[in-house]
A = this chain, B = another copy of it.
Amino acid sequence: MATRRDFNKTMIKGAGAAALMSTFPLSAACAPQSKKLGVALVGLGSYSTYQLAPALQDTQHCYLAGVVTGTPVKEKQWADKYGIPTANIYNYDNFDAIADNDDIDIVYVVLPNSMHAEFCIRAAKAGKHVICEKPMAISVKECDDIINACNAAGVKLGVGYRLQSEPYTNEIKRIVREKSFGEVRFVSAEAGYRSRGNPDQWRLNKALAGGGALLNMGVYAIQGAIYGTGQNPISVSAQEFSTDPDYFKDTDESITAQFKFPNGATGNIFTSHSANVNRHYSAFDNGWLELNPANNYGPLAGRLSTGEEINFPHESQQKLQMDDFALHVLEGKPNKAPGEMGKRDMIICEAIYQSIAEGGKTIDLDLGGMGIVG
Contact A194 B190 (CB under 8 A): no
Given contacts A185-B276, A275-B283, 9 further A-B contacts (CB under 8 A): A185-B277, A186-B192, A188-B188, A239-B360, A241-B266, A243-B264, A265-B275, A276-B283, A360-B360
**Contacts of A246-265 to chain B: CB distance below 8 A:** 254, 256, 258, 260, 264-265
Contacts A239-B237, A258-B256, A360-B237 known; A188 to B275 CB distance under 8 Å? no
Asked if A361 is at the interface (CB within 8 A of a chain B CB), the reply is yes
Asked if A173 is at the interface (CB within 8 A of a chain B CB), the reply is no
Most buried by B among A244, A266, A288: A266
Alpha-carbon gap, A363 to B328, bound state (A): 50
Which residues of chain B have C-beta atoms less than 8 A from A260's C-beta?
241, 243
**Contacts of A275-316 to chain B: CB distance below 8 A:** 275-277, 279, 281, 283-285, 288, 290, 292
Show the binding face of A for B, using Cβ within 8 Å. 185-186, 188, 190, 192, 194, 237, 239, 241, 243-244, 254, 256, 258, 260, 264-266, 268, 270, 272, 274-277, 279, 281, 283-285, 288, 290, 292, 359-362
Alpha-carbon gap, A243 to B359, bound state (A): 23
Which residues of chain B have C-beta atoms less than 8 A from A277's C-beta?
185-186, 283, 288
Which residues of chain B have C-beta atoms less than 8 A from A192's C-beta?
186
Which residues of chain B have C-beta atoms less than 8 A from A241's C-beta?
258, 260, 264, 266
Contacts A258-B256, A277-B283, A283-B275 known; A194 to B185 CB distance under 8 Å? yes
Which residues of chain B have C-beta atoms less than 8 A from A276's C-beta?
185, 283-285, 288
**Chain B residue with the shortest CB-CB distance to A290:** B292
Which residues of chain B have C-beta atoms less than 8 A from A360's C-beta?
237, 239, 359-362
- Chain B nearest CB from A234 CB (Å) reads 11
In the complex, which of the residues B258, B275, B285 contacts A266, with contact meaning CB atoms closer than 8 Å? B275
In the complex, which of the residues B188, B239, B272, B281 contacts A258, with contact meaning CB atoms closer than 8 Å? B239
- Chain B nearest CB from A222 CB (Å) reads 15
Between A and B, 7 residue pairs with Cβ closer than 8 Å are A185-B276, A194-B285, A244-B264, A256-B266, A266-B270, A359-B362, A360-B361
In the complex, which of the residues B185, B190, B274, B359 contacts A188, with contact meaning CB atoms closer than 8 Å? B190
Alpha-carbon gap, A288 to B288, bound state (A): 20
Alpha-carbon gap, A129 to B362, bound state (A): 46
- Chain B nearest CB from A280 CB (Å) reads 12
> Which 8 pairs between the two chains have the least Cβ-Cβ distance?
A360-B360, A243-B264, A185-B275, A186-B275, A256-B258, A241-B266, A277-B283, A268-B270
Alpha-carbon gap, A281 to B331, bound state (A): 44
Which residues of chain B have C-beta atoms less than 8 A from A283's C-beta?
190, 275-277
- Chain B nearest CB from A221 CB (Å) reads 11
Alpha-carbon gap, A362 to B359, bound state (A): 8
- Chain B nearest CB from A230 CB (Å) reads 16
- Chain B nearest CB from A151 CB (Å) reads 38
In the complex, which of the residues B185, B274, B281, B361 contacts A359, with contact meaning CB atoms closer than 8 Å? B361
Which residues of chain B have C-beta atoms less than 8 A from A194's C-beta?
185, 285
- Chain B nearest CB from A364 CB (Å) reads 14
- Chain B nearest CB from A261 CB (Å) reads 9
- Chain B nearest CB from A312 CB (Å) reads 19
Which residues of chain B have C-beta atoms less than 8 A from A256's C-beta?
258, 266, 268
In the complex, which of the residues B237, B266, B288, B361 contacts A254, with contact meaning CB atoms closer than 8 Å? B266
Which residues of chain B have C-beta atoms less than 8 A from A185's C-beta?
194, 272, 274-277
**Chain B residue with the shortest CB-CB distance to A261:** B243
Alpha-carbon gap, A275 to B264, bound state (A): 10
